[in-house]
C-alpha cells in the first residue's frame, strides 16, 4: 500500500470518538453547585449555570477582540476559578483552596479535579468509533504522520484521549483551548503546518463538520475528507457544503464518506 499523503490531520469528536454530553440538565448543575459549596462558594444551581455561561461569553468576546479573530477559544480553567471567587456569597471554610487567588486556582489541582467532575457528570457516552484504531495503525505502519486538530478544552480532552487509548497514535496534538482559537480560524491549521514544517499539498484533513473541518482545510488549501458520522442526507450535505464553499472557496470539493466509516479513507488515501 502506498499512501497518497504524508500527513493526516484528524478532528476528534464525531470523527474518532463518539461522545455525547449535556450541560443543560438541572441535576448536573445541582451537583456542580454542591462541589463549589465545599469550597465556600454559595450559588443556587440556576445562578451558577447563568454565571458560567455569562463568563464564557464575556471571555470569548474579549479574546476575539484582543486577537482580532472570529473564532476564539478560551480556557475554562479561568472560568472555573472566577466562579469560585465571584460567588454571590461565601461561607467560612478551612479549605486552603478558599485562600487562593485567581492565578493560583487556574494552575491548581483543584481546577483539574473540578474539570474531571464537570466532564464526568455531563458525559453519558464516550467510545472510539469502529475501525479507528486499525486505521491509525495502518497509516502509521505505512509511514504517515498523524496529527490532531480539535475544537476542545484541553482539561477535558487530554484525559479522554488517555481513557480511549488514542493518545499514543498522534505525532502531535493541537487543541483549540491551548491555542486561543478554534476551527475554522485559518491560523489554527497554519500553526500546525508551520510548526511541523509540512506542506498543505502533502496533507489531508479528516473530520465530520463542514464549517470547522472542511472550512479550515479549504482556507489553507489542504485536501479534506468528510466523514458523515451524523447520517446526513445528500441534500443536507450539499447545503452545508455550499455555505462553506460558495462565497470564498468556490470549486473546493472534499471527498465524502457517506457511511461515516473511517476505514473507507484508506481507499481514498491510497495510490492505486
Instruction: Spell out the per-residue pLDDT of the chain, length 272, in tens.
Output: 899 999 999 999 999 999 999 999 999 999 999 999 999 999 999 999 999 999 999 999 999 999 999 999 999 999 999 999 999 999 999 899 988 999 999 999 999 999 999 999 999 999 999 999 999 999 999 999 999 999 999 999 999 999 999 999 999 999 999 999 999 999 999 999 999 999 999 999 999 999 999 999 999 999 999 999 999 999 999 999 999 987 678 889 999 999 999 999 999 999 86
CATH number of residue 147's parent domain:
3.40.50.1000
| pLDDT on residue 98 | 84
| pLDDT on residue 1 | 81
Beta partners for residue 206, in sequence order: 10, 225
| pLDDT on residue 272 | 64
Tell whether 62 and 100 lie within a shared domain. yes
Count: domains in the chain: 2
Which grid coordinates are listed for 99?
485562600
Tell whether 183 and 236 lie within a shared domain. yes
Tell whether 88 and 144 lie within a shared domain. no
| pLDDT on residue 246 | 79
| pLDDT on residue 248 | 72
Tell whether 216 and 258 lie within a shared domain. yes
What is the distance between the alpha carbons of residues 262 and 265, in angstroms, rounded to a whole number? Answer: 6
Please indicate, yes or no, if residue 94 is contained in any of the structural domains: yes
Tell whether 50 and 165 lie within a shared domain. no
Tell whether 83 and 119 lie within a shared domain. yes
| pLDDT on residue 245 | 87
| pLDDT on residue 250 | 84
- In terms of residue numbers, what domain contains 166? 7-16+129-268
Please indicate, yes or no, if residue 141 is contained in any of the structural domains: yes
Please indicate, yes or no, if residue 73 is contained in any of the structural domains: yes
Tell whether 103 and 148 lie within a shared domain. no
Tell whether 11 and 34 lie within a shared domain. no
Please indicate, yes or no, if residue 2 is contained in any of the structural domains: no
Amino acid at each position: 500500500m502506498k499512501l497518497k499523503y504524508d500527513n493526516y490531520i484528524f478532528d476528534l469528536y464525531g470523527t474518532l470518538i463518539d461522545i455525547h454530553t449535556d450541560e443543560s440538565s438541572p441535576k448536573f448543575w445541582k451537583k456542580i453547585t454542591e462541589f463549589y459549596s465545599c469550597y465556600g462558594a454559595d450559588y443556587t444551581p440556576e445562578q451558577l449555570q447563568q454565571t458560567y455561561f455569562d463568563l464564557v461569553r464575556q471571555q470569548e468576546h474579549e479574546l476575539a477582540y484582543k486577537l482580532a479573530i472570529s473564532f476564539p477559544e478560551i480556557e475554562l480553567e479561568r472560568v472555573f476559578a472566577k466562579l469560585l471567587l465571584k460567588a454571590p456569597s461565601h461561607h467560612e471554610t478551612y479549605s486552603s483552596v478558599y485562600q487562593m487567588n485567581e492565578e493560583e486556582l487556574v494552575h491548581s489541582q483543584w481546577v483539574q479535579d473540578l474539570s474531571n467532575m464537570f466532564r464526568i457528570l455531563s458525559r453519558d457516552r464516550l467510545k472510539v468509533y469502529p475501525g479507528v484504531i486499525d486505521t491509525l495503525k495502518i497509516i502509521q505502519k505505512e509511514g504517515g504522520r498523524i496529527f490532531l486538530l480539535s475544537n476542545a478544552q484541553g482539561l477535558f480532552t487530554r484525559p479522554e484521549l488517555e481513557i480511549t487509548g488514542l493518545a499514543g497514535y498522534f505525532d502531535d496534538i493541537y487543541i483549540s483551548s491551548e491555542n486561543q482559537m478554534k476551527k475554522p480560524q485559518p491560523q489554527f491549521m497554519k500553526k500546525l503546518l508551520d510548526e511541523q514544517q509540512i506542506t498543505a499539498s502533502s496533507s489531508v484533513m479528516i473530520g465530520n463538520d463542514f464549517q470547522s473541518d472542511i472550512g479550515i482545510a479549504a482556507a489553507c488549501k489542504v485536501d479534506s475528507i468528510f466523514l458523515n458520522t451524523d447520517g446526513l442526507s445528500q441534500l443536507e450535505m450539499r447545503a452545508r457544503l455550499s455555505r462553506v464553499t460558495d462565497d470564498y472557496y468556490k470549486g473546493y470539493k472534499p471527498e465524502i464518506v457517506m457511511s461515516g466509516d473511517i476505514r473507507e479513507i484508506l481507499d481514498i488515501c491510497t495510490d492505486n
